[in-house]
Amino acid sequence: MSRTILVTGGAGFIGSHYVRYLIQYHPDVEVINADALRYSANLLNLAEVADHPRYRFVNVDLADQPAVERLFQRKIDEVIHFAAESHVDRSIEGAEMFIRSNIIGTYYLLEAVKKAEVEKMVHISTDEVYGSVSTGRAKEHSPLAPSNPYSATKASSDLLCQSYVNTYGLPVVITRCTNNYGPNQHPEKLIPCLILRALENRPLPIYGDGSQERDWIHVWDHCVAIDRVRRYGKAGKVYHIGAEHTITNLEVARRICTLLGKPHSLIQHVDDRPGHDLRYSLDTSKTREELGWLPMISFDRGLKETVGWYRRQQDWWEAVRSKAYRRPMEGGEWR
Ligand SMILES: NC(=O)c1ccc[n+]([C@@H]2O[C@H](COP(=O)([O-])OP(=O)(O)OC[C@H]3O[C@@H](n4cnc5c(N)ncnc54)[C@H](O)[C@@H]3O)[C@@H](O)[C@H]2O)c1
């Protein structure tokens, strides 16, 4: 019998990969993609499933409670919750949308799940909730210490989810993942931003001295892990997802220049982001042991393929760019 999975934020970067994953690998699953189509959404990412009989798109703002309740008028078996405002720089410029989407949106979703008979909800969160991890790796029980409005709203939504598990027995599982990269990522994010600027021989902006360390995971590996958590993860638990391979932002920029045959002199150091976390790192051993998951795509291979993808997909990023130009907070600048 077919199962219905509600994916929120399925028109964004990771959500669209996961929607396509579900349609491709789970023939017994029907997908409802609920997305408010904010600036980072892109229906081009879903072109190959748009007319699929097991896929349906619904334009819904999760901060609109009646609209969220209407989603649950039909039977929903599982919920995978990606929808969020996701860009730290934008949250520093103004946090209100982050509070509305990430906290209030999650609250309305939890309320709807509480009333419905949902078997499992997976809340997609981030390593950024731990703040900067100076040494070692954050564990699932490490204290939450978010440093910027984005991570504060994600930590808040994590706590809301945990409170609904404890108080109402909701079957919610939380994943916290490190930085994702891969095809279809909005060009405001570090890796596509650097690739596109290098392709156009424009300066590659690097915050501060570029010594910030991130653990990059390919979006495909993240989707496989989410699917394991959806199927086998235990309610109330937190699962870490990451490649356990950290690299500095400066080194990422250098590798992109090398892959594209561009001079490293294109790299330009700019004023650091306020409250910039120096290092993120997760201990992912529990996820690996309990769920039998391992990342399969090395950063070298994944970055090479991603650079190739952006090089070939000029139509895609030109379409995104023309939409991004309309954002007043970008000051008309292509960042
Ligand atoms: N990108 C990363 O490196 C990364 C790492 C760890 C965790 N995450 C988490 O994964 C999730 C997806 O991230 P992403 O990079 O794909 O983000 P994204 O910005 O590309 O996509 C977010 C999607 O959510 C939708 N959305 C935003 N507010 C909404 C609302 N109120 N109602 C309905 N839809 C709404 C947007 O329209 C967009 O399609 C987020 O929760 C993010 O915190 C991202």
Lowest mean per-residue pLDDT among 92-96, 182-186, 304-308, 330-334:
330-334
pLDDT of 331 reads 32
302 found inside a domain: no
Give the per-residue pLDDT at 328: 37
In degrees, rounded to 5, the angle at the alpha carbon of residue 293 between the alpha carbons of residues 17 and 230 is 55
pLDDT at 52 (0 to 100)? 98
Which percentage of the chain shows pLDDT scores above 70? 96
pLDDT of residue 254: 98
Per-residue model confidence (pLDDT) at position 333: 34
Is-contact 81 122, C-beta < 8 A?
Answer: yes
Strand, coil or helix: what is 122? Answer: strand
Give the chain's mean pLDDT: 94
Q: Is residue 282 included in any domain, yes or no?
A: no
Quickly tell me which residue has 């220049």 as its tokens: 257
**Structural domain contains residue 36:** yes
CA–centroid distance, 87 to ligand 1, in Å, is: 9
| pLDDT number for residue 245 | 87
In tens, the pLDDT along 135-154 reads 999 999 999 999 999 999 99
Query: Is 60 domain-assigned?
Result: yes
pLDDT value at residue 118: 97
Task: Give yes or no for residue 32 having a pLDDT over 90.
Answer: yes
Greater model confidence, 321 or 261: 261
Q: Is the pLDDT of residue 327 over 60?
A: no
In this structure, what CATH number is given to the domain that contains residue 34?
3.40.50.720
Q: What is the mean pLDDT of the segment spanning 262-275?
A: 93
CA–CA gap between residue 62 and residue 6 (Å, rounded): 12
Give the residue, 319 or 328, on which the prediction is more confident.
Answer: 319
Q: Confidence band (pLDDT; 50, 70, 90) for 324?
A: low
Here the tokens at position 80 are 């995978």
With respect to residue 18, please indicate whether it lies within any of the assigned structural domains. Answer: yes
Residue 304 included in any domain: no
Residue 244 has pLDDT above 60, yes or no: yes
Q: How far is the CA of 131 from the centre of ligand 1 (A)?
A: 19
Residues in contact with ligand 1 by the CB-under-6-Å rule are 8-9, 11-15, 35-38, 40-41, 60-63, 82-86, 101, 105, 124, 126, 154, 177, 179-180, 186
Q: Are 4 and 40 in contact (CB under 8 A)?
A: no
Among residues 198, 183, 181, the alpha carbon closest in space to that of 298 is found at: 181
Using the mean position of ligand 1's atoms as its centre, give its distance from the Cα of residue 59 in Å. Answer: 15
Residue 322 lies in a domain: no
Closest by CA position to 109, among listed 239, 7, 21, 198? 7
Q: Which are the catalytic amino acids?
A: 127-128, 150
* CA-closest candidate to residue 192, choices 330, 331, 314: 314
List the structure tokens of 149: 């409005």
For residue 326, is pLDDT > 70? no
The boundaries of the domain holding residue 116 are: 3-180+218-241
* pLDDT (mean) for 104-125: 97
Is 256 a domain residue? no
If pLDDT is split at 50, 70 and 90, which confidence band does 225 have? Answer: very high
Q: Within 10 A of 149 (CB to CB), how many other CB atoms are there? A: 22
**Total count of domains within the chain:** 1
